[in-house]
Amino acid sequence: MVQLASDDAVDYKGHPADRSTTGGWVSAASILVVELCERLSSMAIGVNLVTYIHGTMHLPSATASTIVTNWGGFSFLLSIFGGILADTFLGRYWTIAIFANIHALGSGLLAFSTVLPSLRPPPCNPTLSSDCIEANGTQMAVFYIAAYTVALGLGGIKCSVSGFGADQFDQKDENEKAQMVHFFNRFYFFISFGTLLAVSVFVYIQDKVARVWGYGSITVLMWLAIVTFLSRTRRYRYKKCVGSPVVQTMQVVVAAIRKRNLKFPSNIQQLYHTNSEDTRNSQNARFSFLDKASIIDETDTANVESGIQNSWRLCSVEKVEEIKMMSRLLPIWATTIMLWTVHAQMITYSVLQAGTLRRSIGSFQIPPGSFNVFFIGAILLSLGIYDRLVIYVFKKQSGKKGLTNLQKIGFGLFFSVLAMGVAALVEIRRLKVIKSTNGVVLTLPMSAFFLVPQFALAGVAEGFVYTGQLDFFLSESPKGMKSISTSLFLTTIAFGFFVSTIMVSVIRNVTEDKHNWLPPDVNRGRLDFFYGFISLLCAINLVLFICCARWFIRKKAQISN
């Protein structure tokens, strides 16, 4: 008996989807496999990329850090454009299928570039010698092509996987709606599990076996994930493209600019509406210049009467109001960017620090990039304690369900201040050890486990900010703008990486004539000053966030009343 899904889902032929033969857990699991391998591949490359650029390609540490943060920033920024393609043209299935292949191609090119000696400079240890030959233009060009092919694939996959997985469950069926909640829990578990495998097993393969085996193995896994994903093509549920909220936002802005010289009609009921009369009096005064996008001029009148609407010239009041509601979130959005700047240090300079210290447990040598396992472990541990203990205490004491999303973000930002402050103190100790050895040893007589607190504190910070951000953007955005709220979340990560790039560039230029904070060799720099500066910026950012959060709560109360 055919059981049609009730949420406009279709099968691969475009017919209404049969709930008994399409979607469900098996289909969702096939999609999760792609996310697992994408996360594993991206993190295995990302957390250990700085050691490859500095140690193998012989670029200065600051340059290596900048390359990694730019790569990470563009990866998440590209997810916005991938989302536009998925929502407007390709659909989520084809977006995943195409960009997963691009991702695998990129990691394969990266593996290939590590095999040919002509694609890297002669072996040399930049820590012991200042005469190492840097990679030439051709060698870096091949590296950039491979790395940014991976970034392009990552952007296309990340914007669609969670949404396509959710499409496999009918939200109007109570049983499947409950299953979808469990899907998101497992989605986060798969992300975390893939990250742990990346920073432990696959980073170890890269450092202790060979880069080609490390990059080659994740390429093979990505191809296997693609085969698994494609094997369920006939069993997936699909949603038709309805247009991207990002494009809708651009349409409102463009239409408002084009009509900036027009005057508002005396009666706001003469503006362009698409909803019923009882919803027409909900306009607010914020960002009133956007309201001009809904003014109907002579050209628009002719188009509307003929049934033709150019959304780049005329937008409904309802659409404009949704964009204005999203604008309330921007102050909170801006004050969460610094958290991801801290994250950028964990995969760049903190990894370079670890490379100079003793990392052995008995005869086992921990790769520098694998110290991010403490970062990921702290995320999982802190969220586990929060879910099992903190929420229980809140319910028992006050009946509340735990911290609000804004409180979680603030709590996480506070830990980001501590993380960078502790990192500065640890670096002061490391510099004292360097001075005592006159900087002539390859491995400093100091345990790399002194770095664990900064990784752990940064992990706690990210765990709370990540979950708080996601909850905030999804719960506070208007109903028709849930997709763009996810894009806003991803842009904070992208801009956090770019802020790190800008900071490194500015500090290098300002300090290079005096005592260079960020020289080619971290042992000759002042990372303690750099970390301390970031901690100060995080503290200022925390104060700004508290002000913005109080403003948001006050405005929300006024709107509710």
* Closest residue by Cα to residue 465 from 360, 343, 317: 343
Distance of CA 73 to the CA centre of its chain: 8
pLDDT tens for residues 340-362? 999 999 999 999 999 889 988 88
The CATH code of the domain at 328-561 is 1.20.1250.20
More confident residue, 155 or 488: 155
* Over residues 365-387, mean pLDDT: 86
Q: Classify 444 as helix, strand or coil.
A: strand
Query: Could you give the CA distance from residue 123 to residue 435 in angstroms, rounded to a whole number?
Result: 27
| Token output for 463 | 């765990």
Query: Could you give the CA distance from residue 440 to residue 114 in angstroms, rounded to a whole number?
Result: 29
Q: So what's the pLDDT on residue 98?
A: 94
Residue ranges per structural domain of the chain: 1-241, 245-327, 328-561
Radius of gyration of the chain (CA): 26
pLDDT tens for residues 29-60? 898 899 889 989 999 998 889 989 988 898 98
Claim: this prediction has a pTM higher than 0.75: yes
Chain position carrying tokens 């940014």: 148
Lowest mean per-residue pLDDT among 381-385, 429-433, 455-459: 381-385
What superfamily would CATH give domain 1-241? MFS general substrate transporter like domains (1.20.1250.20)
CA distances for 519 relative to 91, 122, 215, 421, angstroms: 47, 22, 29, 21
Q: So what's the pLDDT on residue 149?
A: 95
Chain position carrying tokens 């949420």: 7
List helix spans (H) across 159-295.
161-166, 174-197, 203-204, 211-231, 245-258
Q: So what's the pLDDT on residue 281?
A: 43
| Token output for 127 | 């820590």
527: left (phi > 0), else alpha (psi -120 to 50), else beta?
alpha
* Closest residue by Cα to residue 537 from 514, 509, 494, 506: 506
pLDDT tens for residues 59-87? 988 899 999 999 999 998 888 888 888 88
More confident residue, 556 or 161: 161
Residue 1 has pLDDT above 60, yes or no: no
Query: Could you give the CA distance from residue 328 to residue 397 in angstroms, rounded to a whole number?
Result: 32
Asked if residue 342 lies in contact with residue 503, where contact means CB atoms within 8 angstroms, the answer is no
CA distances for 103 relative to 45, 138, 312, angstroms: 12, 22, 34
pLDDT tens for residues 481-524? 666 677 777 889 999 999 999 999 999 888 877 778 988 888 88
Q: Classify 445 as helix, strand or coil.
A: strand
What percentage of the chain carries pLDDT values higher than 70?
A: 88
Q: So what's the pLDDT on residue 70?
A: 93
| Domain 1-241 and domain 328-561 have a common topology | yes
* Closest residue by Cα to residue 252 from 288, 301, 293: 293
Query: Could you give the CA distance from residue 229 to residue 34 in angstroms, rounded to a whole number?
Result: 7
DSSP string, 255-300: HHHHTTTSPPPSSGGGS---S-GGGTT---STTGGGGGGG---HHH
Q: So what's the pLDDT on residue 129?
A: 66
Sign of dihedral through CA atoms 145, 148, 154, 155?
negative
Asked if residue 277 lies in contact with residue 48, where contact means CB atoms within 8 angstroms, the answer is no
Q: So what's the pLDDT on residue 279?
A: 45
Q: What CA dihedral angle connects 251, 252, 256 and 259, to 10 degrees?
A: 60
Query: Could you give the CA distance from residue 494 to residue 515 in angstroms, rounded to a whole number?
Result: 30
- Write 520-526 long-range contacts (CB < 8 A, 24+): 520/60, 520/61, 520/62, 520/63, 520/126, 520/130, 521/60, 521/61, 521/126, 521/127, 521/130, 522/61, 522/349, 522/352, 522/353, 522/356, 523/127, 523/356, 523/434, 523/439, 524/439, 525/61, 526/431
Q: Classify 361 as helix, strand or coil.
A: strand
Other CB atoms within 10 Å distance of the CB of residue 99: 28
Lowest mean per-residue pLDDT among 270-274, 294-298, 310-314, 464-468: 270-274
Q: So what's the pLDDT on residue 558?
A: 58
* Pairing label, strands 360-361, 364-365: antiparallel
DSSP string, 20-84: TTS-HHHHHHHHHHHHHHHHHHHHHHHTTHHHHHHHTS---HHHHHHHHHHHHHHHHHHHHHHHH
